[in-house]
Structure 1
């Protein structure tokens, strides 16, 4: 009888250890999924902020450019310098988040479409087509939306 009792106790201890291990494993998987989800959400939030910052800077540069004829070159440079810095910084941050292979080799990819919209806004601004530059901001936001909806990996 003592052997049976010892076997039941051993079986119970092993069962408890297996169950505890199973729940620990489930907890580990859940924590990993939460960490990945948090990371993706952070990526989306930061990317959204950069797109917003870039388009705001573009709009501000258009506004400054519309009044540039009434400003001396020195005043224009002083007024526009911080906005140009913001635009360049956002542009760099966005570019670093995009997959360069997709931008270069996959013209139909989300990354390439967004980069093309950004490039068009830069070209239109450089040509002095301010109305088109403002419209380009809508296109930038439109092309960024699918990237914000995906998993969050650039």
Structure 2
């Protein structure tokens, strides 16, 4: 009885190994990329939450200082003195507002993001006109839209990016096909060899 020719098995083994390795490499690449994107999105969620908290805090603090000045001095305190009293709050408000606007994508299809953006813009306009009480009255709306936006983004993190979800499916299908092809190749090689061995 003759042995199975090594020359026949080596190319088959190389092809099978290449197919399986390629499929697993692709799947690993997709999963790694998705993990990185998810981490960036999680960082974005945390940063947006922090900036919105700072904006609301600075807005409320500024309104309270202006209210206290008005209660104590009426209109006798000039604009410059009022501005000096609220200098740090105005700075914090401006920084938080700018950070939020930089994080929100104006072209995003999310209704919650659009509502949050519009609410913040309106709040800032009211504050710029000195209508601090009206601006602060929008805090609850800002908070509600922010929570909806953050939840929406968190759901995206849990589900994964659509392109990566599709790529994962393709990767899994590729692995299955590679294994099926490997089994088919092994079967097609082994059956004739077994017949040859039996014949000899």
For the structure 1 residues 76 and 127, does the alpha-carbon distance in structure 2 shift closer, same or farther, using more than 3 Å as the test? closer
Match for residue 16 of structure 1?
A: 17
Match for residue 93 of structure 1?
A: 99
Match for residue 87 of structure 2?
A: 81
Q: Deviations over 1:63-111 (max 9, x none)?
A: 1111113365455333311110111111112222233356xxx9x9333
Structure 2 unaligned segments of length 5 or more: list them: 157-200
**In 2, Cα distance between the equivalents of 1:22 and 1:80?**
61
**In 2, Cα distance between the equivalents of 1:141 and 1:118?**
10
Match for residue 39 of structure 1?
A: 40
Q: State which drifts further: 53-62 or 117-126.
A: 117-126
**In 2, Cα distance between the equivalents of 1:7 and 1:16?**
15
**In 2, Cα distance between the equivalents of 1:20 and 1:129?**
63
Return the offset for 1:151: 3.8
How much is the aligned-residue C-alpha RMSD, in angstroms? Answer: 2.8
The answer to whether the aligner puts 1:134 opposite 2:140 as a matched pair is no
Indicate conservation of the 8 Å contact 2:52/2:100, yes or no. Answer: yes
Match for residue 150 of structure 2?
A: 148
Match for residue 122 of structure 1?
A: 124
Structure with greater Cα Rg: 2
Match for residue 65 of structure 2?
A: 64
Aligned length: 148
Q: State which drifts further: 17-26 or 51-60.
A: 17-26
If asked which structure has higher relative contact order (CA below 8 Å, sep 6+), I would say 2
Q: State which drifts further: 87-96 or 1-10.
A: 1-10
**In 1, Cα distance between the equivalents of 2:112 and 2:22?**
42
Structure 1 unaligned segments of length 5 or more: list them: none
Indicate conservation of the 8 Å contact 2:116/2:146, yes or no. Answer: yes
Q: TM-score, normalised by structure 1?
A: 0.78
**In 2, Cα distance between the equivalents of 1:54 and 1:137?**
9
